[in-house]
Amino acid sequence: MIDFDSRRCRLTSPTAMPLAAGFLWNPRMMIHMTARGFATAQFMQPEPSKYARGPILEQKHFMLPEQGVYAHHPGRFFYVKDREDGALFSAPHEPVRTAPDAFAFEVAPTELSWRVDKGGVRVELRLGLPVADTVELWEARVINLDARPRRLSLYPAFPLGLMSWMNQSADFAPDLNGVVGRCVTGYQKVEDYFKNKSLKDMTVLLSEQTPLAFETRQARFEGEGGLHRPDALNGARMENGVALYENPIAAMQFDHDLAPGESVTHRFLFGPAFDVAEAAALKARHLSEAGFAAARAAYADHMAQGQGALNVDGGDAHLDAFVNAWLPRQVHYHADTQRLSTDPQTRNFLQDAIGAVYIRPEWTRAVLIKALSQQREDGAMPDGVTLYDGAELKYINQIPHSDHSVWLALLLEAYLDETDDYAVLDEGVTSADGRTLSVRERVSAANQWLIHHVDHRGLNFIEQGDWNDPMNMVGWKGKGVSGWLSLATAHSLRLWAEILARAGHDGDMYAAAAERFRAACNAHLWDGDWYARGITDDDVRFGVHSDAEGALYLNPQSFALMSGAADAEQALRLVAAVEARAETPYGVEMIVPAYTHMREDVGRLTQKFPGVAENGAVYNHAAIFYIYALYQVKEAEKAFDLLCKMLVGPDTQDYLRRGQLPVFVPNYYRGAHRQFPQASGRSSHLFNTGAASWLYRTVIEGLYGLKGGREGLWVRPQLPQSWAGARVTRRFRGALFEIDIRRGKPGLSVDGVAQADNCIRNIDAGRTYRVEVMI
């Protein structure tokens, strides 16, 4: 059913995994396409916008967890009709849903494609994107596989949905050779008119070939047959209908008489435009065989910029394929798009940059400078980072959260270890108030804010949330504290003290502060087997044994291990507690037991369905914190077991249970395994997640133990006992390291010369090193 390697992932059933999907992006847009033909797409202008919509007014959102689809969900449909007997099918699969004779949906790093065979006819579809333009490039090839001539009609039909409640229409434009849908974005305030004047309120489906007929009225296109068997396809030709203030569709008709073995290829361009002139320029640039070829080549080059730092041949081919191609691709997506936001949450902005260290370190550096330029005067980091002048903090970024400053030292550790660019610490950064301070001074100020933003116990205030942003009622009165953040602050302070020392500065005050935070956490949060999640405004500890729900939270345990707050005995106890209570066949859950009703002193996370998102899911961002921490304390076997559970597959039952292709790590899998086992493991299908960056870092620095430092490259693999060894290629500071890991008497040799320890020093950029490491 699924064939998977580093070059592609192929699904051979349109029905076994109804939500299985792949995604493509460029820096200005993203499209998520299901195997069956439904699409969720978005582009930036500069705020997130859509060019194909639902049939009714939508709440503004992009993708939802476990995104459902429906008959009129935006889709990209290609109907094929036999003009002899009227037989009809559609590709990819929706909306006719005729059982194919053969089916394949293939996700490759640079394109999505389908092959659908039915009744002696094959349809091959390819979807690609250009690098700089916000348009979809579709290629449809119809092949006669039969031994007799076939008289066929092809109908591409792309519903445009409710474009606007104010003004919408569509018609065929002969000069463009395509359907043009027009609208006026709805608004009420006068000032919004001036913002909306520059919006791309036109959506076009342009064809390389001239159609025989067209239809732009969705209701008339469907008639009584609906999308399943549209009335417009019953006659010899469509009616050339014009949509006048009604939901439009971009549908065209092409008739072909194909001899046995003969084929015909169509190319289409679908996307937004500001006006006819822009649409014409897009057509001239892309809509030809040469234009598609040029776009594919440029897109492949752009994707190659996201090449990872690692290529592995270990003891698990499934994991190898994911690590070599798909995981760095997902990391690149986050770096390239900033999650298609103009005001990414600061924590996301900084953590996505941690992963980019291994593929685009210069982008990580730019993120650091950009974020620090918006630091508040008191040293705290803002809830969101605005990416252009005039952008505003929206939605969640208008709610005060307490954790954003803690990520700076974590980002710098990864960046400096990979690049040794300690000069960045002295670079001046000017903020909105006109003050210019060095990176070192600004990160010190952020850590000082964390040191002082504490209650009488020395624990960090939580405000209306921390990393767990729906934990909004623990501290809304100004008294509640975050156990996780206090542990994370201890970790941040320890890292910052070490960075300062390596840079020749005195970090003792931060090291001492880290020890104070560790002591406070042990005094007030240790609950005998694990650390509490926090203390509410009303002085109630939660995330403790006595809680019937939400007794154990994963994040404090992870950062207790990272920060060194947990001693050896505590580490053993908390790891055992997590294993007994939170581990499942699909990974480690974030909260156990999941909440089944609102807890008003915790917040809206407890209103989420048990096992969904932050309320007890296998929330992969939290899970990878824990796995990373396990590698830090040399719990390699457990870390590897949980790491493998984070990936989909490779057996068929796991694919069917999770319902997702193994081409990305999702935001979460359903949890509450002990409460609702029938739903556990189901994928959210959301690929916006900080888990990707941390997973890549964990594989590189934990599993394969290839971590940089001021001295050079440290080689300390932690392979699972089931592996005899591994071969790894690591790109690091401009050099290439070909590493052979085997079992035997521990030691390291470089180009045949034994080393005194496990560090490779004096690295020359451009050189290839051959490394043997025995473990």
- Residues assigned a catalytic role: 469
CA angle 409, 558, 601 (to 5 degrees): 95
- What is the phi-psi region of residue 323: left when phi exceeds 0, alpha when psi lies from -120 to 50, beta otherwise? alpha
Residue 595 DSSP code: P
Tokens read off for 129: 């994107």
CA 610 to chain centre: 23
φ and ψ of 159, to 5 deg = -65, 140
- Please report how the helices 361-372 and 407-419 are oriented relative to each other, as an axis angle in degrees rounded to 10: 150
Residue indicated by tokens 């003792």: 508
Tokens read off for 651: 């057996």
Q: How far is CA 413 from CA 103, 492, 521, 722, in A?
A: 47, 10, 23, 31
CA angle 522, 588, 567 (to 5 degrees): 25
φ and ψ of 429, to 5 deg = -130, 125
DSSP for 40-91 reads EEEEESSSEE-SS--SSPPPS-S--TT----TTS-B-EEEEEETTT--EEEE
Contact status, residue 137 vs residue 269, Cβ threshold 8 Å:
yes
* d(C-alpha 765, C-alpha 611), whole Å: 48
Question: What is the number of alpha carbons within 13 Å of residue 561 lying toward its C-beta?
Answer: 23
Contact status, residue 119 vs residue 250, Cβ threshold 8 Å:
no
